[in-house]
Amino acid sequence: MSIAKEKVVPFFAIVCLLIGTSATIYVQASLSTKNTITLSGNDFTLDQLFTMGTTRVIVTDDGEKSGIALDDLILKMGIDCLSCHQYTFKAKDGYQQTVDWAPMQQGVLTQEGRVYFAGTAHALWVHDVIEIEVS
Protein backbone atom coordinates (compact mmCIF):
# COMPACT_ATOMS: atom_id res chain seq x y z
CA MET A 1 0.00 0.00 0.00
CA SER A 2 2.82 2.45 0.76
CA ILE A 3 4.41 1.83 -2.64
CA ALA A 4 1.18 2.95 -4.34
CA LYS A 5 1.13 6.14 -2.23
CA GLU A 6 4.76 6.82 -3.14
CA LYS A 7 3.81 6.74 -6.81
CA VAL A 8 0.45 8.55 -6.59
CA VAL A 9 1.46 11.51 -4.40
CA PRO A 10 4.26 12.74 -6.73
CA PHE A 11 1.94 12.29 -9.71
CA PHE A 12 -0.72 14.54 -8.13
CA ALA A 13 1.93 17.06 -7.10
CA ILE A 14 3.15 17.31 -10.69
CA VAL A 15 -0.42 17.66 -11.97
CA CYS A 16 -1.07 20.48 -9.47
CA LEU A 17 2.11 22.28 -10.53
CA LEU A 18 1.16 21.99 -14.19
CA ILE A 19 -2.34 23.34 -13.52
CA GLY A 20 -0.92 26.27 -11.54
CA THR A 21 1.62 27.09 -14.22
CA SER A 22 -0.99 26.87 -16.97
CA ALA A 23 -3.34 29.15 -15.04
CA THR A 24 -0.59 31.73 -14.54
CA ILE A 25 0.32 31.70 -18.22
CA TYR A 26 -3.34 32.07 -19.20
CA VAL A 27 -3.92 35.03 -16.87
CA GLN A 28 -0.78 36.82 -18.06
CA ALA A 29 -1.67 36.22 -21.71
CA SER A 30 -5.23 37.47 -21.25
CA LEU A 31 -4.20 40.75 -19.65
CA SER A 32 -4.83 43.62 -21.99
CA THR A 33 -1.85 45.36 -23.53
CA LYS A 34 -3.93 48.40 -24.42
CA ASN A 35 -2.04 51.70 -24.13
CA THR A 36 -5.07 53.96 -24.40
CA ILE A 37 -8.13 54.77 -22.33
CA THR A 38 -11.53 54.51 -23.98
CA LEU A 39 -13.88 57.31 -22.99
CA SER A 40 -17.24 57.92 -24.69
CA GLY A 41 -16.30 55.44 -27.41
CA ASN A 42 -13.06 57.23 -28.28
CA ASP A 43 -9.52 56.11 -27.47
CA PHE A 44 -7.16 58.61 -25.86
CA THR A 45 -3.60 58.37 -24.60
CA LEU A 46 -2.92 59.67 -21.12
CA ASP A 47 -0.99 62.56 -22.64
CA GLN A 48 -4.04 63.54 -24.71
CA LEU A 49 -6.28 63.39 -21.64
CA PHE A 50 -3.84 65.51 -19.64
CA THR A 51 -3.95 68.22 -22.30
CA MET A 52 -7.77 68.20 -22.22
CA GLY A 53 -8.40 68.29 -18.48
CA THR A 54 -7.34 70.45 -15.59
CA THR A 55 -5.00 69.13 -12.92
CA ARG A 56 -6.18 68.57 -9.36
CA VAL A 57 -4.43 67.45 -6.17
CA ILE A 58 -6.47 65.42 -3.69
CA VAL A 59 -5.58 64.12 -0.26
CA THR A 60 -6.22 60.44 0.43
CA ASP A 61 -5.28 58.30 3.40
CA ASP A 62 -2.44 57.12 1.13
CA GLY A 63 -1.09 60.66 0.69
CA GLU A 64 -1.52 63.35 -1.94
CA LYS A 65 -2.50 62.28 -5.45
CA SER A 66 -2.21 64.55 -8.48
CA GLY A 67 -3.89 64.03 -11.82
CA ILE A 68 -6.64 65.03 -14.21
CA ALA A 69 -9.84 66.16 -12.49
CA LEU A 70 -12.36 63.47 -13.40
CA ASP A 71 -15.36 65.78 -13.24
CA ASP A 72 -13.68 68.24 -15.60
CA LEU A 73 -12.77 65.43 -17.99
CA ILE A 74 -16.36 64.19 -18.12
CA LEU A 75 -17.64 67.74 -18.63
CA LYS A 76 -15.30 68.15 -21.60
CA MET A 77 -16.67 64.92 -23.10
CA GLY A 78 -20.06 66.65 -23.41
CA ILE A 79 -21.99 64.29 -21.13
CA ASP A 80 -25.47 65.65 -20.31
CA CYS A 81 -27.01 65.41 -16.82
CA LEU A 82 -23.83 64.44 -15.02
CA SER A 83 -25.58 63.29 -11.84
CA CYS A 84 -27.95 61.07 -13.86
CA HIS A 85 -25.15 58.70 -14.84
CA GLN A 86 -22.87 56.18 -13.24
CA TYR A 87 -19.21 55.92 -14.18
CA THR A 88 -17.47 52.56 -14.45
CA PHE A 89 -13.68 52.39 -14.42
CA LYS A 90 -12.29 49.22 -16.00
CA ALA A 91 -8.74 47.99 -15.47
CA LYS A 92 -6.44 45.89 -17.66
CA ASP A 93 -6.83 42.91 -15.35
CA GLY A 94 -10.63 42.96 -15.53
CA TYR A 95 -11.17 44.73 -12.20
CA GLN A 96 -13.82 47.45 -12.33
CA GLN A 97 -15.60 49.85 -10.04
CA THR A 98 -18.69 51.96 -10.59
CA VAL A 99 -19.27 55.32 -8.87
CA ASP A 100 -21.91 58.03 -8.91
CA TRP A 101 -21.26 61.67 -9.68
CA ALA A 102 -20.40 62.70 -6.09
CA PRO A 103 -17.06 60.82 -5.89
CA MET A 104 -16.20 61.95 -9.43
CA GLN A 105 -16.13 65.54 -8.20
CA GLN A 106 -13.21 64.63 -5.92
CA GLY A 107 -11.47 62.15 -8.19
CA VAL A 108 -8.30 62.16 -10.28
CA LEU A 109 -6.75 60.08 -13.02
CA THR A 110 -2.98 60.02 -12.52
CA GLN A 111 -0.24 59.92 -15.13
CA GLU A 112 0.24 56.23 -14.23
CA GLY A 113 -3.35 55.48 -15.29
CA ARG A 114 -4.70 55.13 -11.76
CA VAL A 115 -7.97 56.53 -10.46
CA TYR A 116 -8.24 57.85 -6.90
CA PHE A 117 -11.19 59.38 -5.08
CA ALA A 118 -10.76 61.53 -1.97
CA GLY A 119 -12.51 60.21 1.12
CA THR A 120 -13.40 56.79 -0.29
CA ALA A 121 -12.35 53.22 0.38
CA HIS A 122 -9.33 51.83 -1.44
CA ALA A 123 -11.64 49.34 -3.16
CA LEU A 124 -12.93 52.18 -5.38
CA TRP A 125 -9.43 53.03 -6.58
CA VAL A 126 -8.62 51.42 -9.92
CA HIS A 127 -5.13 50.85 -11.30
CA ASP A 128 -4.22 50.48 -14.98
CA VAL A 129 -7.46 51.99 -16.26
CA ILE A 130 -8.28 51.14 -19.89
CA GLU A 131 -11.89 52.35 -20.07
CA ILE A 132 -14.25 54.83 -18.46
CA GLU A 133 -17.81 53.84 -19.25
CA VAL A 134 -20.68 56.28 -18.77
CA SER A 135 -24.03 54.57 -18.18
Q: Is the pLDDT of residue 56 over 90?
A: yes
- pTM for the whole thing? 0.75
Which tens digit of pLDDT belongs to each residue from 17-50?
Answer: 889 888 777 766 655 556 899 998 899 999 999 9
The residue ranges of every structural domain in the chain are 1-30, 37-134
pLDDT of res. 11: 85
pLDDT band at 130 (very low <50, low <70, confident <90, very high): very high
CATH superfamily placement of domain 37-134:
Oxidoreductase, molybdopterin-binding domain (3.90.420.10)
What was the pLDDT predicted at 34?
A: 65
Beta strands in the chain (DSSP E): 37-39, 42-44, 55-60, 63-69, 87-91, 96-99, 107-109, 115-117, 129-134
